[in-house]
Structures are given as structure tokens and as C-alpha cells.
Structure 1
Amino acid sequence: MVTVRTVTGDIDSSALGVTLFHEHLLNDGSAAWRRPEPDDDEGWAIARTPVRMEYLGRLRNDPYVSLDNTRLDDVNLAAEEAARFRVAGGDTIIDVTPPGIGRDPQGLRQIAARTGLNIVMGCGYYLERAHPDGLSAMPIDDIADQIASDILQGTDGVRAGVIGE
């Protein structure tokens, strides 16, 4: 038996079924937000408002001009979208959102409970611009201990099941 750690507990790997391997159900990518150029009136309009269909063309080419476009922080919306995957025959989502870009262990647990999906939470770190404060000053062994703790003890009562982003 190969065990897989989900946000609601361990399962046998045979229960994984149809799996999405690299998802971000909830995250905060605002560290990647890019200020528009001073004379970019359209960019500033987009930067200051929620995402709207009229901005779709620009956002396809410049997704980080909109601060709103850098965040997925609505548990209800994430659960609705994940439920569509479940209805389409999906079974498991591996969420690789690390600390520093909005990992939300309890939010993931809520989504799993509402949808019946197996959700595996990731741990570790992403690009330097998205590192939590103080990470760059930590000794490597302390970082390794922190990642191991995410798997063995958990964060907010939820244990990680995969390392990496």
C-alpha cells in the first residue's frame, strides 16, 4: 500500500483516480504584480479595478498588470470551481501553493469537505520574490526542518503531502 497524505487524512494511492497535479486553488501572487508605466492610462485603470471581461485581451498579454488578477482568495468560489472538476469525474487535486504566496491549509480543508475531492497540500518555497520574510536568513538545515515539520506535524492542523511548487 502506498499512502498519500491529503488535507483530510491519509488515503491509499489507489483512491487518487483522475488527478490534477499542479494547481493553485487559493493563492496570493501579488508579489508578481507589475506597476503600469506612468503614461499607461489603460494599465492604471486595470490595475485599480476588479478583473472585467473588457480587459481580457490586455490580461492575456500582461496578466500581472491587474492586482486583482494575482489573487485567488475566495474559498467559496474555489469550492464551486473545484466542484465542477468533481462533477466531470475528477477525484484529486494536488495544490502546490507554498507559504509566501497564500497557502491556506484550512481553506483547502474546507474545499475538500464541500466537494468530496482528495486535496493534497504542498510545502516548500517558490521564487525568491515570493519567499516569506526571514527565509533568506535561515540556515538550510532550518528550512529543511520546517519542510519536514509541514509533512510530519502539519500547519494549522493540516499536513502537507507533497514538496514543491
Structure 2
Amino acid sequence: MIRTVLGDVDELGVTNSHDHLFLASRVLPGQELDDVEAAFVELQRFRQAGGHTVVQWTPAGMGRRLDALPELSRRTGVTIVAATGLHQPQHYDPEWLRKSLPRLEELFVADITERRAGLIKVAGGFHGLDPHAVHTMTAAARAHHATGVPVSVHLELGTAALDVLDLLCDRLEVPPHRVILGHLNRFPDRWVQHRAAEAGAFLAFDGPSRANHATDWMLPTSLADLADAGHAAQLLLGGDTTTAAARGAPGMSYLLTHIRPRLEPELATQIFVTNPRRAF
């Protein structure tokens, strides 16, 4: 079963596998996603384009608005999967972080069991894992073992994917198929992408139409390359809208109106429908 903000389900339909309806960070002042009606409009557009589910990766302490998500799901008819977890330390008020770090496992499990979070989102560092990443991933692994929900990982600029898998899967015994690696397209190293896929993890390509990342123009080739190598069942796509300036331009619907038509129909169905149901 998949835990959504309105209860557990076994189908998701066409899914945006990584996005943000709400998000606030100390490193993005003035760019908060905190407008409920703007989120409503964005979900409507996604629904009108043929979308059914949005997976919000916003972790604890970053304005994820768990209180607003159920009503938004009811109003729009879009299924929403919410996250718990913790990002890199620079995104938080130091005092909040100091109080939260000793009780992360407890926080994550409570979010899942009491607040209907269906995902644990954590973050790696640039080309490696610092002590904060190791601490949060250890808590995430323990919460996964207690609840069964998957662990998604922000890879800083797409790096350190194999370090993450070594920690989460080899050392902390999270099954690889319960790990979702995000932002691999931002560091399009074919060798790393294939090693991560061979390990059994899900690969989330996200944030299309960003001029500073290897996104749209490389995306179809990267996905087709992995599919041809036998990894079509591990691929996911998401919009990853993170700032108010990016909302609606291109917006969540861009995945379906501009990216999906560039994929072979069978592969598109697998990426947008079949794989999210298994991943989440």
C-alpha cells in the first residue's frame, strides 16, 4: 500500500514523482512556496494535463504544510504523497535543528504513523557524506525498518549516489528497491547512473527546463539508455519546483505536456504510472 495524505491506496495513476507544493528555506529568502491557492491552481493544471498524483518531497521543518495537503487533495482530486525526513543543515534555524537531531527517528515515525507521511526524504553532500548526512540517513533507515515506507535522497548536484547506496543499503540494510535517488540528471555520469541502477535503486530524474542543469536536452537519451540496459522499471520523473518564481513556469504540467511526448509511449507509461506505484 501507498500512504497518501487521505489514506492508504494501491494505485497512483499518472505521477509526478518529485515536486514541492510548499517549501521554505533559509537559503532561499523571499522565494517561499507558501500560498495555498497558488498550490491549488498548480494542482488543477496538472490534473487538466492528465496527472493524478504528486509526491511532495518537502521534509520536516521546511514549511511542508501537512495541514493544508488533505484539503488540497480533496478539492483538486489529485492524490498527494507527503514526506517526513530532514534536509542539509543550512536550510534550518540552528536552534530548531539542535533540538530535532537527537530525536529524528521518533520524529520520522510519528510523521508516518500519525500524520500520513509516505516518504522519508534525506540529503547527501557534494561528492560525499558528511556527519550530518550519515546521522539523518541512519535515522531514516531505522524509521524505514519500523514502517516500511521508502527513503528518497537529495543528491547534491547529482553526486555521491554510490556513497548513499553503500550507507543505506550495504551498511544500514535498507533494501535497494526502497531507495529513490533524486537529481541524478544534474551530474549525468552514465557510469554512476548504471551502477546505481544495477544496485537496484529507483532513479528519479527531476527539475526539467532548468538552464543550469543537464535536463531536457539530455533527458530522453539518458532514460532510453538506461531502459535499453534493462532498467526501465527503475526510472521516475518529477518537476521539483522549489521557488515561487518557478511556479507555473514551467509548472508541474510541463512534465506531461512537454517531456512525456518525447518518450516512447510504452516507456512513458512505465515511468509515469507503473514505476511510481512500485516505488512509493
User: Per the shorter chain, which TM-score range?
Assistant: 0.5 to 0.7
Q: Stretches of 4+ moved more than 2 A in 1? A: 131-140
Give the aligned partner of residue 75 of structure 1: 36
* Cα pair distance change 1:79/1:127, threshold 3 Å: same
Give the aligned partner of residue 63 of structure 2: 102
Q: Does 1:28 align with 2:28?
A: no
Give the aligned partner of residue 5 of structure 2: 7
* Cα pair distance change 1:137/1:114, threshold 3 Å: closer
Report which of the two has the higher share of helix.
2
* Distance in structure 2 (CA, Å) of the matches to 1:113 and 1:151: 20
Which AA in structure 2 matches 1:161?
A: G
Q: Does 1:118 align with 2:84?
A: no
1:89-134: CA deviation from partner (whole Å, max 9, x where unpaired): 1011000111221110121112111110110000000110123534
Aligned length: 121
The alignment-based identity, stated in percent, is 37
Q: CA RMSD in A?
A: 1.7
Give the aligned partner of residue 247 of structure 2: none
- The structure whose RCO (Cα within 8 Å, separation 6+) is larger is 1
Which AA in structure 2 matches 1:145?
A: E
- Whether the aligned pair in 2 keeps the contact of 1:122 and 1:162 (CA below 8 Å) is yes
Unaligned runs of 5+ in 2: 123-280
Give the aligned partner of residue 164 of structure 1: 121
- Whether the aligned pair in 1 keeps the contact of 2:89 and 2:97 (CA below 8 Å) is no
Which AA in structure 2 matches 1:125?
A: L
* Cα pair distance change 1:139/1:84, threshold 3 Å: closer
Aligned residue for 2:117, secondary structure, equals coil
User: Shift of the alpha carbon at 1:139?
Assistant: 5.7
Aligned residue for 2:68, secondary structure, equals helix
